Amino acid sequence: MGNNYSEISKKIQEAGRKILSEGKVERIIGFGRGEFTGQITPIFVTESERAEELLFTPECDMMLAKYLLDYKGSKTGIVAKPCDTRAITVYLAEELIKREEVYIIGINDCEGLEENDACDECGVRNPVVADEEIGKPRSEDVDAEIEDDLEGMSSEERFEYFQKEFARCIRCYACREACFVCACDECFVDSNQPQWVGNSIGKRDNFTFHLMRVMHMAGRCINCGACEQACPEGINMRALTKHLYRVAKEVYQFEPGLDPEEKTLFATYKLNDSEQGFLD
C-alpha cells in the first residue's frame, strides 16, 4: 500500500469517532485486535470513545460487507477495502441494502493483503462507492489479469482435477460463511424439502455442493478470494469462480460490483435475448 498503515488507522479512528459522536451511525464495522488472541478480527464499535480500537493492517483480509445484512433498518458505518465496496455495490444493485443506511469509509490505494492470491488479479484499488475516503487514491489503473486455472484443460482433465480438489472438502461451509454472495435466507444445503445435498461427506455430495454454489455466484462473484482464505483444507476454491468471472468479462463485458445502478448479470431476462447464452 502506498499509504502508511499507522496513518490510515489514525484517520479511520478520527472518522469513526466523528460520525459516532455526531450520531450519523449507530455502529461501525471495522477491524481491530481480538481481546484475547491479539489477532486482527472484525469488531463492532458503538461508542465514540472506542473508535481508537479501529485498525487497518495487511492482515485485514476478511470481507466485512456481509455483516451489513445483519443491521438492515439502522444506520451502520463500515471500514471498506475496495473489494468490500464492490460487494456493497452488488448488494445495492440487488436491493439487499439501502444506500442511505450505510456510511462507507473507503480505503484508497489498496495493494493487496497477506497471502491472498486474488489480490494479484485485482484491478480495482480505490473504493467504488464511499462517503469518506482514507488515504491518497491511486491515480493510474492497475493492469491485472485473471489467471484461469481451467484454461486449456479438456473436460476430462477438469473432472479429474476437481475430483481431487473436492475430495479434500470436509463440508465445514467456511467458504459459504466467508462469501458475501452467499446471503440466502436458507441455503440449499440446509433444505430438507427438497433435500438437494446429503449429509455425508463424499464425492457426489461434495460435487453437488460446490457446483450448485458456484452457479449461484456467476455474474456476482468479484473474485475477492475470501472463500479460499477461509478454507481449512487449502482447496483451490477460486478455480471455478474466477473462470466464470473471466467468461462474464470476455463474453458480456460485465464486471460485478462497479455500478450500483447496474443489475447483476442474471438479474434480468429477455425471451428473445440476442446475446450468447452463458453455458453455450
Q: Each residue of 228-268: pLDDT tens digit?
A: 999 999 999 899 898 889 888 888 889 999 999 998 887 77
| pLDDT tens digits, 44-54 | 999 999 999 99
The domain limits of the chain are 5-134, 155-252
Q: How far apart are CA 181 and CA 194, in angstroms?
A: 22
Burial class (CB in 10 A: 0-12, 13-18, 19+), 188: middle
Given a contact cutoff of 8 angstroms between Cβ atoms, the answer to whether 60 and 42 are in contact is no
pLDDT of residue 210: 86
Residues whose CB is less than 8 angstroms from the CB of residue 155 and which lie 6 or more positions away in sequence, other chains included: none
Compute the residue count for the chain: 280
Q: How far apart are CA 107 and CA 120, in angstroms?
A: 17
Above 90 in pLDDT, residue 143?
A: no
The one-character DSSP state at 101 is G
Residue 188 confidence (pLDDT): 78
pLDDT, tens digit, for every residue of 201-210?
Answer: 778 888 888 8
For the ranges 67-76, 96-105, 270-279, the lowest mean pLDDT is seen at 270-279
Residues 201, 65 contacting (CB under 8 angstroms): no
Q: Residue-wise over 20-41: b if at least 16 C-beta within 10 A, else e?
A: beeeebebbbbbbeeeeeeebe
Provide the grid cell at 175: 467458504
Query: Cis ω on the peptide bond leading into residue 194 (within 30° of 0)?
Result: yes
